Structure 1
Amino acid sequence: MNVLLVYTHPNHQSLSYAFLQKVIQGSRDNPRITEIEVLDLYEEGFDPVLVFNENKRRRDMHADPRLEKHRQQLLRADLIVFVYPIWWGRPPAMLLGYIDQMFAAGFAYRDRGGLFPEGLLKGKSVVCISTMKGPARYPLLWLHDAHKVLMRKALFRFVGIKKVKFFEFGSMESPKGRHEKKLERVYRHFQSLAR
């Protein structure tokens, strides 16, 4: 199994980075995982800004040569892991800019003229690991799970990815946030993960 880790946090001293390290450690300790590739969007200086004009059209985004390396990463991956904080009830703008550009028509899906497109990333699975300051139940009770609905239905299902797992950890700025227990849970998941 090939794993692509998309990390989105500007601080390598953050709890998100600690979760990234646990994903890497668990994946290395899993004999079923043969390749681990890390894409650190901030460290790489990924440009999340969409630009469309007379020379650059949205319908051509799937062939943008600047993004070819990232398209190949997604194609190689059997499992795509996103590690990010929840800010204002949603993933960071950097990650949303990556999604806007990478999950483009002609690469991630193809319009068929009906209500739903043909997902071109079928067979892949996704794990989303997110942290937030607020309580764990806040997204469900106050936001009707908007973050999960956005990621699962509006994005992954749209491009053909049906297997999606969430680790959504709340109260992470509290000393009672049980960080070590949650980090160990993520490690164990990846260490024992089978396709």
Structure 2
Amino acid sequence: MKNILIINGHPDKNSLCHSLAESYKEGCETQNANCTLVNLADLHFDPILHYGYKQRTDLEPDLLKMQEAILNADHLVFVYPTWWGTYPALLKGFFDRVFLPGFAFKYRENSLFWDKYLKGKSARLIVTMDTPKWYYSLVYKSPGHNSLRKGILEFCGIKPVRITAFGPVKSSADKKRQKWLSQVRKLGAELR
């Protein structure tokens, strides 16, 4: 049985992102997958890495549980809005605090290279945005997609990382949003 961990990075649970995360979970459940949905807004943790990596900050119990859930997952799904070209501070803080050296990766001594500790896992990003997708790609060069896919997930060994983006949200009608929810439900049913 495949273990799927869905992480909703939108701080507001009454959001399109929350509905998309729920739709993905509904799709997974049609395949009897072991599927867990976590809303970061429900977790209790300080999202700030106060000392960088020079001094370790003890992880809160919720973050310890998330590390365990990540290790047990075969497939990770991150659902979040694009804000200021990337993702909400809550999601960034989650990565800063959870994807630590020794857990997600480890630099090799006297080397430019590192060991990737999260190999064997795949991921999907489900992203909403108010910018048209073509504009985000051509003009902005997809900074949020690149940061999360290459700078965090692939850096830690997670591959492949697929991206599904929806937008512009602010001008979308309910019919369009229902189509997006259906599309995400189908992705969940395909377990990818």
Task: Say whether the fold is shared (TM-score over 0.5).
Answer: yes
Match of 1:72 in 2: 68
Q: Partners of 2:56 and 2:13 in 1: how far apart?
A: 34
Q: Judging changes above 3 Å, is the alpha-carbon distance between structure 1 residues 47 and 175 closer, same or farther for their aligned structure 2 residues?
A: same
Moved more, 21-30 or 4-13: 4-13
Q: Does 1:129 align with 2:118?
A: no
Match of 2:152 in 1: 155
Q: Partners of 1:126 and 1:44 in 2: how far apart?
A: 21
Shift of 1:51: 2.2
Q: Percent identity?
A: 33
Gaps in structure 1 of 5+ consecutive residues: none
Shift of 1:70: 1.6
Match of 1:82 in 2: 78
CA-atom RMSD, angstroms? 2.0
SS at match of 1:95: helix
Match of 2:9 in 1: 8
Equivalent runs, 1:33-72 vs 2, <5 Å = 33=33, 35-52=34-51, 58=54, 60=56, 64=59, 66=61, 67-72=63-68
Q: Partners of 2:65 and 2:54 in 1: how far apart?
A: 19
Q: Does 1:106 align with 2:102?
A: yes
Q: Judging changes above 3 Å, is the alpha-carbon distance between structure 1 residues 64 and 12 closer, same or farther for their aligned structure 2 residues?
A: closer
Q: Judging changes above 3 Å, is the alpha-carbon distance between structure 1 residues 14 and 64 closer, same or farther for their aligned structure 2 residues?
A: closer
Match of 1:23 in 2: 24
CA contact (8 A) 1:59 1:105 kept: no
Shift of 1:5: 1.1
Shift of 1:116: 2.6
Shift of 1:176: 4.7
Gaps in structure 2 of 5+ consecutive residues: none
Q: Judging changes above 3 Å, is the alpha-carbon distance between structure 1 residues 175 and 160 closer, same or farther for their aligned structure 2 residues?
A: closer
CA contact (8 A) 2:85 2:142 kept: no
Taking structure 1 as the reference length, the TM-score comes to: 0.88
